[in-house]
């Protein structure tokens, strides 16, 4: 009989994570030494805490309207192929959105911009001798395909800068009318940061006191462009009501598009940590000025940057240290990259390496192996054991509660994965124990084991891992399914035939080495096709392997 202490030991052997502190956040946001002021929204408390970069601490997630929660993400500037630095941001954002939607059942409404006109796009097209619009559309199509391959759910609405130009121009005109922006002699327009009371709050900075260069058309050194006047006849421009022609600056695009969809208040705004200043700072300043508020975004979510191991700088095209999404998927799967993001947590820097990806692959395989072991046990391919029902109930309760605490604590996916792995390790030890006490009536606890397996599979699917969405993943994918052939049943039949061969080979006093060698050859052949065979005392089971690489010489043989 397994005692409660024995079953729960792996869970308590770790340093138990601190539970969410329920502090008085109102008092903390008013510390006199802090220049940052965050106003707690009025609405429904969720029990979720989110890190606030300005305060450098976690604050409670409060929903203004629980029936509809708004989310804006900075989209790509489509002048080149997406690389892993971009991919890590969008995969992490996708994980956060899935947690809120599918785990916490929050109705998110999401939007994203597509920057399809920009200095980088124009320059790249001119150098390549291409039409800038056609080039932008081609890279946008590639971006959409890359995100689909990474299983990133598209935003509910995506808007292009070029198609929302009237909205952008209207936004700028309102800032001019409100004396928050000014027109320069060349008909460019700048935002006047001296009129913004809280400028610099996201980065916790004061206004720059640098002297302006002689001949500068700006009033203050920190002023930034809302509209860039035409410089040459070949660049794309739009007519402006304040005079001349030009095109928008980078920061105003997101403010205008987000404002178009969500108006004067936004619940979530996400992007990479490198966008916090100046891009997000300028977005906040523009919208606070236009909508006459001191807080436009209630919760800024910034993802940590991806960099190569040994390289302190982020992955970027300008540094030439990028890996494209296509290059990644030649070596690793989308699920493996997603697991790597889960293990690194959304706010943390992500040091990319083959070792990280191997760890992610092994972690995925542990989940698949657990489901295979549990399936074999509940199909009586493994001997049933005397289990402690009370201990298993306590363990399941602890796992569910602690997993929930992890996600409520600023979406701590790394710790949540650890909690699930502890649960799997405990159950695997129970069902793989070879000693059976025949003196007592066994408590099979199959219902509790299945409940634990269902919970683990369900929450793993919540993270967007596609390999766990269907119990029979090949059913809809193989080309011969249209002929009425069930691949899973076919594999089962092959495994059963191999099992009978193996049983005959070891049934006598002397093992039949030829039959055992044939069993090993069949196992190796199946593994080359991504099917991992698992032998048990009372039969064999199988599982789709994460990696389809050829087995090495250390593979366990049927004779062992």
pLDDT of 491 strictly over 90: no
For 530-550, what is each residue's pLDDT tens digit? Answer: 788 887 766 777 787 765 443
pLDDT at residue 182 in the model: 97
**Residue 482 per-residue DSSP state:** G
pTM: 0.81
The overall longest dimension of the chain from CA atoms, in Å, is: 99
Q: How far apart are CA 234 and CA 546, in angstroms?
A: 51
CA 177, 183, 188, 194 dihedral sign is negative
Which of the pair, 322 or 444, is modelled with greater confidence? 322
What's the CA gap between 554 and 305, in Å, rounded?
Answer: 38
CA geometry: angle at 442 spanning 439 and 444, to 5°?
165
User: What's the whole-number mean pLDDT along residues 407-413?
Assistant: 98
Residues 6 or more apart in contact with residue 405 via CB below 8 angstroms: 17, 19, 20
Mean pLDDT of all residues in 125-148: 95
Q: Is the dihedral of CA 309, 313, 319, 322 positive or negative?
A: positive
For residue 443, name the pLDDT band (cuts at 50, 70, 90): low
Beta pairing class for 224-229 and 108-114: unpaired
Contact 13, 5 (CB under 8 A): no
Give pLDDT, residue 24: 38
pLDDT in tens, 255-301: 999 999 999 999 999 999 999 999 999 999 999 999 999 999 999 99
Q: How far is CA 555 from CA 4, 530, 534, in A?
A: 35, 14, 11
């Amino acid at each position: 009989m397994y005692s409660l202490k024995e079953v729960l030991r792996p869970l308590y052997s770790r340093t138990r994570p601190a539970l969410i502190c329920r502090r008085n956040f109102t008092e903390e946001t008013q510390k006199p030494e802090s220049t940052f002021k965050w106003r707690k929204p009025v609405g429904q408390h969720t029990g979720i805490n989110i890190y606030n970069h300005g305060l450098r601490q976690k604050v409670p997630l409060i929903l203004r309207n629980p029936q509809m929660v708004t989310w804006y993400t900075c989209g790509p500037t489509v002048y080149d192929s997406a690389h892993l630095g971009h991919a890590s941001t969008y995969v992490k954002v996708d994980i956060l959105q899935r947690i809120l939607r599918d785990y916490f059942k929050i109705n998110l409404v999401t939007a994203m911009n597509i920057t399809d006109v920009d200095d980088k796009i124009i320059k790249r097209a001119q150098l390549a001798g291409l039409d800038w619009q056609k080039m932008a559309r081609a890279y946008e199509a590639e971006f959409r395909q890359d995100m689909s391959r990474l299983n990133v759910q598209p935003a509910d609405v995506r808007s292009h800068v070029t198609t929302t130009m009237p909205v952008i121009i209207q936004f700028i005109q309102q800032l001019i009318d409100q004396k928050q922006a000014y027109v320069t002699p060349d008909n460019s327009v700048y935002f006047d940061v001296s009129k913004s009371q809280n400028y610099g709050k996201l980065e916790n900075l004061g206004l720059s006191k640098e002297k302006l260069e002689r001949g500068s058309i700006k009033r203050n050194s920190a002023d930034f462009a809302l509209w860039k006047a035409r410089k040459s006849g070949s660049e794309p421009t739009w007519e402006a009501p304040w005079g001349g022609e030009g095109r928008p600056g980078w920061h105003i695009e997101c403010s205008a598009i987000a404002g178009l969809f969500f108006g004067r208040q936004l619940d979530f705004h996400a992007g990479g940590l490198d966008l916090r200043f100046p891009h997000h700072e300028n977005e906040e300043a523009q919208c606070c000025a236009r909508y006459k508020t001191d807080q436009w975004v209630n919760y800024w979510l910034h993802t940590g940057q991806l960099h190569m191991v040994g390289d302190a700088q982020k992955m970027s095209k300008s540094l030439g240290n990028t890996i494209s999404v296509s290059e990644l998927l030649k070596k690793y799967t989308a699920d493996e990259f997603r697991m790597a993001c889960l293990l690194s947590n959304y706010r943390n820097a992500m040091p990319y390496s083959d070792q990280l990806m191997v760890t992610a692959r092994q972690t995925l395989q542990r989940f698949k192996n657990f489901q295979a072991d549990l399936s074999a046990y509940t199909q009586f391919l493994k001997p049933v054991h005397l289990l402690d029902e009370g201990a298993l109930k306590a363990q399941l309760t602890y796992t569910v509660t602690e997993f929930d605490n992890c996600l409520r604590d600023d979406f701590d996916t790394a710790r949540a994965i650890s909690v699930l792995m502890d649960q799997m390790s405990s159950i695997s030890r129970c069902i793989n124990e070879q000693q059976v006490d025949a003196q007592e009536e066994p408590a099979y606890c199959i219902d509790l084991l299945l409940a634990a397996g269902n919970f683990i599979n369900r929450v793993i699917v919540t993270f967007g891992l596609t390999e766990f969405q269907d119990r029979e993943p090949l059913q809809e994918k193989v080309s011969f399914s249209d002929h009425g052939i069930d691949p899973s049943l076919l594999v089962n039949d092959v495994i059963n035939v191999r099992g009978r061969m193996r049983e005959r080979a070891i049934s006598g006093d002397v093992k039949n080495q030829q039959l055992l060698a044939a069993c090993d050859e069949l196992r190796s052949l199946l593994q080359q096709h991504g099917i991992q065979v698992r032998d048990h005392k009372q039969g064999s089971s199988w599982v789709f392997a994460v990696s389809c690489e050829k087995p090495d010489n250390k593979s366990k043989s049927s004779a062992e």
